[in-house]
């Protein structure tokens, strides 16, 4: 990768100012596993990253309260704290459920691009953030934050993509690296975003979150050839769009990439060890 990175220390500063207990929890001696869950929230996106010391990052929340039942299946019932929520872009099938999470969990920090939506649902999200005095940190291409040996690098949106009229083009694209293993979260990006990523970065990923629920306008041949993932996950539910599209499934087959889909496999859990990962499903 050749882009310069801005290290987002403000994340930890904001958490400290918000809650001293969370500061202790985050900076206590690092221990515990690193896991990634891809949630079954119907036709929407949601995933939970669990870091050592049980520090949690929820990436998107699906359309509605379905995310809560997923959280209850993977979190201790006494744990009412999720340190960070991330909204990749302001489409309801990605952020609607975050409102339910904000109303039921103690959240330290909200992450997003700053893009807004002209809808009642988005206004409710905005109101809840204000009511609960939760800091909102804007992320953009080049930002980087880490916890222990897990590093998150923001590859998109670029400043130009952020101006797009199409909200999918403004999606946060985040590369998570744990040791030698990488997970690429792609939200709802399309071919044009993928072309820029391939052009601007030396990309590789072990696990790929398939963009836009398997839309035919994402996950190009060039993108898969560059990434060469060992595994892919499709967040998808019953829909009228034909997701995941047969073209995408054919491309995955062409590159011999095994995949899971949340509408068939339920919650997909990935547990990281020092130099490998294991995959489990929960129907």
What CATH fold (topology level) applies to the domain 33-282?
A: Metallo-beta-lactamase; Chain A (3.60.15)
Vertex 277: Cα angle to 57 and 98 (nearest 5): 20
Q: What pLDDT, on the 0 to 100 scale, is given for residue 138?
A: 96
Contact 157, 169 (CB under 8 A): yes
* Concatenated DSSP letters of the chain: --S--EE-THHHHHHHHH-HHHHHHHHSPP-S-EEEEE---SSS-EEEEEEGGGEEEEEEE-SSTHHHHHHHHHS-TT--EEEEEE-SSS-HHHHHHHHHHHHHSEEEEEEE-S---SSHHHHHHHHHHHHTT--EEE--TTEEEEETTEEEEEEE--TTGGG-SSGGGG--EEEEEETTEEEEE-TT--HHHHHHHHHHS----SEEE-GGGG-TTSS-HHHHHHH--SEEEE---S-SS-SSPHHHHHHHHHTT--EEEHHHH-EEEEEE-SS-EEEEEE-
Q: What pLDDT, on the 0 to 100 scale, is given for residue 273?
A: 86
Q: Give tens-digit pLDDT for 195-238.
A: 999 999 989 999 999 999 999 999 999 999 999 999 999 999 99
Q: What pLDDT, on the 0 to 100 scale, is given for residue 3?
A: 52
Between strands 6-7 and 34-38, the pairing is unpaired
Domain ranges of the chain: 1-30, 33-282
Q: Give tens-digit pLDDT for 22-32.
A: 544 545 445 67
Q: What pLDDT, on the 0 to 100 scale, is given for residue 202?
A: 86
* Concatenated DSSP letters of 3-43: S--EE-THHHHHHHHH-HHHHHHHHSPP-S-EEEEE---SS
Lowest pLDDT segment from 2-6, 97-101, 192-196? 2-6
């Amino acid at each position: 990768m050749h882009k310069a990175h801005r290290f987002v220390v403000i994340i930890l500063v904001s958490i400290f100012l918000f809650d001293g207990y969370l500061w202790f929890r985050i900076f206590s001696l690092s221990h515990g596993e690193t896991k990634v869950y891809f949630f079954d929230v119907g036709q929407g996106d949601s995933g939970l990253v669990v870091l050592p010391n049980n520090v949690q990052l929820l990436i998107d929340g699906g359309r509605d309260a379905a995310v809560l039942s997923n959280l209850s299946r993977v979190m201790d019932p006494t744990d009412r704290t999720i340190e960070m929520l991330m909204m990749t872009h302001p489409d309801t099938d990605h952020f609607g459920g975050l409102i339910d999470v904000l109303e039921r969990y103690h959240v330290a920090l909200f992450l997003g691009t700053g893009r807004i939506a002209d809808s009642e649902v988005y206004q409710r999200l905005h109101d809840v953030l204000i009511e609960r005095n939760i800091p909102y940190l804007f992320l953009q291409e080049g930002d980087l934050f880490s916890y222990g040996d897990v590093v998150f690098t923001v590859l998109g949106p670029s400043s130009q993509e952020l101006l797009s009229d199409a909200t999918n083009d403004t999606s946060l694209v985040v590369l998570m690296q744990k040791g030698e293993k990488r997970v690429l979260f792609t939200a709802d990006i399309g071919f044009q975003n993928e072309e820029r990523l391939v052009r601007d970065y030396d990309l590789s990923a072990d696990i790929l979150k398939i963009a836009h629920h398997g839309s035919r306008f994402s996950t190009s041949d060039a993108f898969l050839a560059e990434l060469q993932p060992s595994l892919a996950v499709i967040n998808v539910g019953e829909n009228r769009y034909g997701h995941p599209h047969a073209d995408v499934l054919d491309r995955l087959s062409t590159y011999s990439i095994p995949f899971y889909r949340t509408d068939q496999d339920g919650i997909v859990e990935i547990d990281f060890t020092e130099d490998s990962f294991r995959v489990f499903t929960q129907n």
